[in-house]
Amino acid sequence: MIIGGSTSQDLAAKVANILGEKLCYVETKKFPDGERYLKVNGPVEDEVTIIQSTAYPQDENILELLFLIKTVKDLGAKRVKVVMPYMGYARQEKRFNPGEAVSARIVAELIECAGADEFITFNIHEKCVLDFFSIPAKTLSAMPAIAEYVRDDDEKPLIVAPDKGAYHFAQEIAHILDSECTYFSKVRLGPDKVETRIVDVRCDGADEETVNVDAVKGKKVVIIDDIIATGGTIVNAINILKQHGAKSVDVCCVHPILVNGATARIYEAGANSLISTNSISSDTSRVSLADIIAEELKD
Ligand code: R5P
């Protein structure tokens, strides 16, 4: 039985359809004072998979997920798998400054305390977040699906990671498409300000010390990142790519948080297209995670 939380209704319905599983409907609403009401409509089976992303408003969506897990367990479910295509708070995986909450660990512990028996997410920002769970926890990759979306065998794109942390995503896509890939060096100056440097632009196979700024000249480029939030990281990358003669720049990400006018800023910087998965429902969601989730749930 599949249950879609209010953030992932379409995705849950698609997964249920692929698997031929029952989709259980959930009613949610807010009371006038802002408190949340949740009702699971219909009998609950022994094995339940709940699909719920926890992007904005993160706190409400996390609370709804906790209500759902606990309620289906109360109603008789014996085993509950939680599929959280995007995990809110995963970027606060440590105490960067004294006194800060390690939010990712708290969220993981809450999910487990509510009764989850297994946790699945996509391209989690830091893999160490999975270690905060003592139940089986794994991160799946959307890169094969994104690679197929951007595939162009007539003109293989150069795959660019806007920072070193995203380089392994670029490598995964480049490997599937048999393309070249490279990365930039980024320094975060604040929540909505990043500085991107070209000093680390290298192409696979180049000597470690070789700075290869010509790598992008005349190329069709695809930028890949896990998350786009304010778009600052991507805008910097587009600017550098354009300055160095990229022919076109298409932008892809797994998780389209897209706040503070990110979409407009990315197009304004000269992106040819901006696409993402449906880990968070957005106008940019062109790549569905449904098949990957269904395949995972078959096991
Ligand atoms: C962080 O390193 C992530 O991979 C993304 O690059 C980052 O979250 C993007 O944030 P923004 O769009 O605000 O620059």
Average pLDDT in the chain: 91
Mean pLDDT of 106-127: 97
Nearest partner of 277 among 89, 123, 81, 54, judged by Cα: 123
- Please work out whether the CB of residue 26 comes within 6 Å of at least one atom of ligand 1: no
- Percent of the chain exceeding pLDDT 90 equals 82
Mean pLDDT of 209-234: 82
Mean pLDDT of 264-289: 98
Nearest partner of 216 among 252, 191, 179, 164, judged by Cα: 179
- Alpha-carbon gap, residue 177 to 260, rounded angstroms: 33
pLDDT over 50 at 232, yes or no: yes
Instruction: With cut-offs at 50, 70 and 90, classify the pLDDT of residue 261.
Output: very high
- Please work out whether the CB of residue 194 comes within 6 Å of at least one atom of ligand 1: yes
Contact 274, 267 (CB under 8 A): yes
Atom 5, ligand 1: residue with shortest CA distance: 227
Quote the pLDDT of residue 243.
Answer: 87
pLDDT over 70 at 193, yes or no: no
pLDDT digits (tens, 9 = 90+) for 31-49: 999 999 999 998 999 999 9
Q: Which residues are catalytic?
A: 186
How many whole angstroms from 20 Cα to the centroid of ligand 1?
Answer: 37
pTM assigned to the model: 0.91
Q: Identify which of 233, 254, 255 to mutate to test ligand 1's pocket (most ligand atoms within 8 A of the CB).
A: 233
Over the range 1-28, which residues count as b (16 or more CB within 10 Å of their CB) and which as e?
A: bbbbbbbbbebbbbbbebbebebbebee
Q: At what angle do helices 58-74 and 103-114 cross, to 10 degrees?
A: 20
Instruction: With cut-offs at 50, 70 and 90, classify the pLDDT of residue 203.
Output: very low
Contact 215, 230 (CB under 8 A): no
